Structure 1
Amino acid sequence: MSAERPRRAVVTGVGVIAPGGVGREEFWQRITGGKPAIRTITAFDPARFRSRIAAECDFDPAELGLSPREIRRNDRFTQFALASAAEAVEDSGIDWGSTDRDRTGVCLGSAVGASITLEEEYVVASDHGREWEVDPSHAMPFLHQALVPSSAATELAVRFGARGPAAVVSTGCTSGIDAIGHALRLIEDGEADVMIAGASDAPITPITVACFDAIRATSPLNESPELASRPFDAERKGFVLGEGCAVLVVEELEHARARGARVYCEITGYAARANGFHMTGLRPDGFELGEAVKDVMAQARLNPEDLGYISAHGSGTQQNDRHETAAYTRALGDAARQIPISSIKSVIGHSLGAIGSIEMAACALAIDRGVVPPTANLTTPDPECYLDYTPLTARETSVPHALSVGSGFGGFQSAMVFSKNVAGEAA
C-alpha cells in the first residue's frame, strides 16, 4: 500500500429495505430499539419444515415507485435493489443533470439472486416436479432476467443512467461488504467518481429453507419467533433466515466536496480472505477473519482502541460466534474487550448476501448519530463469547470508526472500516 491515498471514497447516501420497516429511518428505529422483526413465514406454508420462521419484509414495490414493467420483469431481490437505490440516490442529493454518467457505476452483491422466480417458474414448467423434461413455453417471458445474475446491476444502471463500470459480486454471505469494497477500489483506481453499491437477497423460498434445514443451520425455536435469533447467547440454536437490501452512494471525496454533499463517513479500509478449510465449517482460532481485520485496520491506520463500534457477523450459530470472538481477540488484543460489539441479525435475521451491506448501512448511521445498536435476546452470554456484545439496549457513544465483518459459506472472510471525516475535515 502506498504512503498516500490520492483518491478517497465517502458515503453520501443510504437506502435500506429491511424486515420490520421500509426505508432508512424505520430500519434505524428498529435496530436501535432492539425489537426483532421475526415471525412465522407467511410467503408460503412452512409446516413441513424444521425451521418455520424468518424475518420478512413488508414490501410494496408499487408504493415505492417501481413501474408495472419493473415489477413484472424483476425478481423480488431486484425490486428491493431498485427501491433501496432510489432512496440512497435521493438521500445523496446528487443532481443527475450535472453528473457525468460515464463516471457513474453500479456494483450489486447477491448470494442467491432470483431464487424466488427460478423456483416458482420451475414448479410451473415441471408441473410441481412431475415432468423431468420441462416445456419452456410454460415459463414466464422474462425468465432470462432471473437466470442472468448481471440483470440486477443492469436494472440499476438503466434506472439511473449509469454508464460507468457495472458488476455483480456473489461471494455468499460476504457479498454485501465485497460489493462495496469493489466500488471503493474502482473509485481509488480512477475508474469512477460515483458508485451505486450494495447488496440484495430475497431467499425466503421452500428450497432455501429446505437446504438450511438439511444442515440444521437455522433456528428451530418456532414457538417464539421473536426470541429465536440469539447471537452470542448460550442458548442460541442457529440463525434465522431474512431478506432485504441496502444500497449506498459511494463517491470520490473531492467530487462530493465540489457539490457540497453531506458525508456520512469515509471508507478507510477493505480486506478479504478465504480460509481454504471447509465449505461450511470454520477454524475455531479465527485466524483468517483475524487476518482480514488486521489488514483493514492497517489500511485505515488505526489502533484497536480507536474503534468505537464493531458490527459483528453474529449469525447465532455455535461455531460462528466463538470463531468470531477468537478472531477479534487475535487481531485486536486486549483492546477487543473495551469495544462495543453487536449483531443486528438478532433483530432483522440473516439475509445472506444482502446482510453485509445492511450492516454497513448500520455502521454509517451509527457513526452519524453516535448510537450503537444492541444485540437483542442476549440474556445468557456464552462464556466463550466473552467480549462486550452490547446486550439488549442501545448505547449512546461517539463512534469515530466502525468495523464490520462478514463470514460466508465457502470460507469467505471480509472486513471493512468506515470512519468519520478524517481530522474533522468537512466535505
Structure 2
Amino acid sequence: MEKPIYINDASVVAAVKSFYDAQQQTYFEQSNGSWISRICSQNTVLLDTLISENKNFQHLDRSVQLALLCSRSLKRVDKRTAVNIGSSRGATALWEKNYDRFRESGTAPTTSSPLTTLGNISSWVAQDLSLQGTAFSHSITCATASHSILNAIAWLQSGMTQSMIAGGSEAPLTDFTISQMKALRIYSRENDTIPCKALDVDKNHNSMILGEAAALFLLSLKSEKSLAKIVGYGSAIEQLNSATSVTESGESLQESMRQAIKDHKSEEIDVIITHAPGTIKGDLAEYRAIKAVFGKKHPHLCNNKWQLGHTLGASSALNLAMAIEMLQTETIFKVPFLKESFLNPRNEQRVPQRILINATGFGGNAVSLLVEK
C-alpha cells in the first residue's frame, strides 16, 4: 500500500465487551436445542434503550438495530463521512416474519419491501448520525466485513471520501438460518464445555455455531490518535468445487495472504487471526494455506469463533477488533484447548506489532488484511 489506512475509532456489539477480558471463556447458550451466541447483557440493555427512544427503530430488523447501537459509540465522525456496512444475511428475521404473514394471509406489510433491503443497515446508520456522505451496503458471504474494509480503502485512496464507517452487522439467530447450516451438516452437536472447536484441525466433527454481532470502524488517510493502521490487503477467488467452495489447500487464502504481506518478510508477521469457522474442511484448508505461505514456522495462530461463534458477515470485523485489542494491550490471545506448539511453532513470546486477519466465504472468495500498531 502506498499510504496506510488509519483506524481512528472502533465499536463492537457482541457477546463480549472486551476480548482482553474474555480470554479463556466461551459465550454460548442453548436455544431450541441448538448452540448460539447472543450479544451480552450490557449490550442488550443498551439496545432495548435505543429501540425505546425511537418508535421507527422498533420495526427494523435486528441486524439494523445492532448496527445503529454500534455506530453511536463512534467518535470524531464528520458529516461527510461515508458508510459501508455489509451483511451476509441482512434482514433475515424480518423477511422471514413478513413471509410467514404472506403464507397465512396472502398479504404483506406495507414496510416489508423497504425494511428488508440490504441497504437498510447503512442508510439507517447514516440517517441516525445525520451524515451526508454516500451510504451503501453489500454482501459477499462470510468475508463481507473485510470487503467493506477493501471498499473503504478504495474510496479513501481515490479521494472520493475523507473518512468512512466500515464493518459488518449480522443477526442470523433464526430457526430457518440455523436449519440451513444444519442442512450442510456443519453445525455443532458437541455437548462439552467448548462446543465449537474452531482452529482444531484434528477434530472429527463439524462444530460451527452461529452468533450475532456488529463491529464498525472509522477509517481515514489521516491519523487522529489512531488505534491501528492497515498496511496491507489481498483478495482472491478460487474455482468452485462444492457448495461451500473450499479447496483442500485453501488456494484463495494463499493468494490473499501473499498479496497482503508482499511488502514484508514472513518473519515480520507476529500473529494470524484465522477465519477458521469450526468446520473440518474449512479449518484444515486454512491451516494448509498458512503453512504453504509461511512454512512450518508460521506466525502465532489465534481465533475467536471458539468463544463467540460464527457471525457470518460480521465475523472478520470482530477479528479486526480483536487485532486492535491485541496491539493495544500488547497481548496475544490464546486458544486454551489447543497446544502451544501448534499455535506458536516459532516458540517465541512476542509483543504483537503486525497481525494478519483472514476471511473467506461461500463463493470461493477470500480477503486478508494486515494491521500494524
- TM-score under structure 2 length normalisation: 0.91
Alignment pair present for 1:190 and 2:159: yes
**Residue 7 of structure 2: SS of its match in structure 1?**
strand
Q: Give the distance between the partners of 1:389 and 1:154, measured in 2 at CA.
A: 43
| Correspondence for 2:39 | 57
When structure 1 is superposed on structure 2, of 196-205 and 164-173 the one drifting more is: 164-173
Paired AA for residue 293 in structure 2: A
2:211 maps to 1:237: no
Q: 1:410 aligns with which of 341, 363, 367?
A: 363
Asked whether the 8 Å contact 1:8–1:188 carries over to 2, the reply is no
Query: Do 1:375 and 1:389's aligned partners in 2 also have CA atoms closer than 8 Å?
Result: no
1:40 alignment partner in structure 2:
30
**CA–CA distance in 1 between the matches of 2:313 and 2:212?**
9
Aligned-residue identity in percent: 20
Give a deviation string over 1:270-292, Cα, whole Å, max 9, x none. Answer: 22111122331311122221011
Q: Which runs of 5+ in 1 are unaligned?
A: 421-427
Confirm or deny that 1:213 pairs with 2:213.
no
SS at structure 2 position matched to 1:144: coil
SS of equivalent residue, structure 2 residue 64: helix
Q: 1:144 and 2:113 equivalent?
A: yes
Query: How far off is 1:73 after superposition?
Result: 2.9
1:107 matched to 2:84? The reply is yes
Distance 1:135 1:376 in 2: 51
Count of residue correspondences: 364
Amino acid at match of 1:414: V
Shift of 1:389: 6.2
CA contact (8 A) 1:340 1:389 kept: yes
Measure, in 2, the Cα distance between the counterparts of 1:9 and 1:348. 27
Alignment of structure 1 residues 11-50 onto 2, 5 Å: 11-19=7-15, 21=16, 23=17, 25=18, 27-30=19-22, 33-41=23-31, 46-47=32-33
CA contact (8 A) 1:241 1:350 kept: yes
**Structure 2 letter corresponding to 1:135:** T
| Aligned partner (choices 107, 130, 140) of residue 135 of structure 1 | 107
Q: Distance in 2 between matches of 1:396 and 1:335?
A: 14
Q: Distance in 2 between matches of 1:178 and 1:124?
A: 34
Tell me the amino acid that sits aligned with residue 84 of structure 1: C
1:268 maps to 2:231? yes
Instruction: Determine the structure 2 residue equivalent to 1:356.
Output: 316
| Counterpart code for 2:251 | F
| Counterpart mapping for 1:65-76 below 5 A | 67-76=53-62
From the superposition, tell whether residues 376 and 124 of structure 1 become closer, same or farther in structure 2 (CA, over 3 Å): farther
User: 1:335-392: per-residue Cα shift (whole Å, max 9, x none)?
Assistant: 41xx21111000000011010111111111111111122224336x9xxxx84269xx
Deviation readout 1:280-327 (Å, 9 max, x if unpaired): 1311122221011001111xx211111121100111111111111111
Partner of 2:266 in structure 1? 304
Contact persistence 1:246–1:361 (CA under 8 A):
yes
Q: CA shift at 1:334, angstroms?
A: 4.2
How far is 1:68 from its partner? 2.6
Q: What is the DSSP-based 3-state SS (H/G/I as helix, E as strand, rest coil) of the residue aligned with 1:228?
A: coil
Matches of 1:405 and 1:242 in 2, distance apart? 18
- 1:173-188 aligned at under 5 Å gives the runs 173-188=142-157
Deviation at 1:107, TM superposition (A): 0.7
Q: Who is 1:424 aligned against?
A: none
SS of 2:49 mapped into structure 1: coil
Q: What's the secondary structure of 1:169's corresponding residue?
A: coil
Amino acid aligned to 1:232? L
Structure 2 residues not aligned, in runs of 5+: none
- Cα deviations by residue, 1:133-154 (Å, 9 ceiling, x for unpaired): x212xx3x43234321111110
Of 201, 204, 211, the match for 2:173 = 204
Which amino acid is the alignment partner of residue 119 of structure 1? E
Q: Do 1:113 and 1:201's aligned partners in 2 also have CA atoms closer than 8 Å?
A: yes
Question: Secondary structure in 1 aligned to 2:210?
Answer: coil
Question: Does the C-alpha gap of structure 1 residues 306 and 64 become closer, same or farther in structure 2, counting only changes over 3 Å?
Answer: farther
User: Residues 379-390 of structure 1: matches in 2 within 5 Å?
Assistant: 387-388=342-343
> Does 2:145 align with 1:155?
no
Q: Distance in 1 between matches of 2:331 and 2:133?
A: 35
C-alpha separation in 1, matches of 2:98 and 2:336:
37
Aligned to 2:304, which of 341, 344, 357? Answer: 344
Q: Which has the higher helix share?
A: 1
- Give the equivalent residue in structure 2 for 1:423: none
Cα distance in 1 between the residues matched to 2:143 and 2:14? 17
Which residue identity does 1:282 align to in structure 2?
V
Residues 185, 36 of structure 1: CA spacing in aligned structure 2 closer, same or farther, 3 A cutoff?
A: same
Distance change in 2, residues 1:237/1:376 (3 Å)? farther
The 1:70–1:342 alpha-carbon spacing in structure 2 relative to 1, beyond 3 Å, is farther
What's 1:419 paired with? 372
Indicate how the Cα distance of structure 1 residues 306 and 167 shifts in structure 2: closer, same or farther if over 3 A, else same: same
Q: Which among 354, 359, 369 is matched to residue 401 of structure 1?
A: 354
Q: Report SS of the residue matched to 1:371.
A: coil
Structure 2: how far apart are the matches of 1:408 and 1:9? Answer: 24
Between the aligned partners of 2:336 and 2:37, the Cα distance in structure 1 is 14
Please state how far the C-alpha of 1:64 moved relative to its aligned partner: 5.0
TM-score scaled by structure 1? 0.80
Q: Whole-Å Cα distance in 2 between the matches of residues 70 and 417 of structure 1?
A: 39
One-letter amino acid matched to 2:26: P
1:80 counterpart = 2:66 = yes
For residues 153 and 40 of structure 1, what CA distance do their matches in structure 2 show? 31
Matched AA of 1:18 = A
State which of 276, 281, 288 in structure 2 corresponds to 1:314.
276
Q: Of the candidates 300, 320, 323, which is equivalent to residue 285 of structure 2? A: 323
Describe the superposition over 1:36-75 as per-residue Cα deviations: whole angstroms up to 9, x where unpaired. Answer: 001102xxxx24xxxx111112423133577333421311
| Runs of 4+ displaced beyond 4 Å | none
Equivalent residue letter for 2:96: E
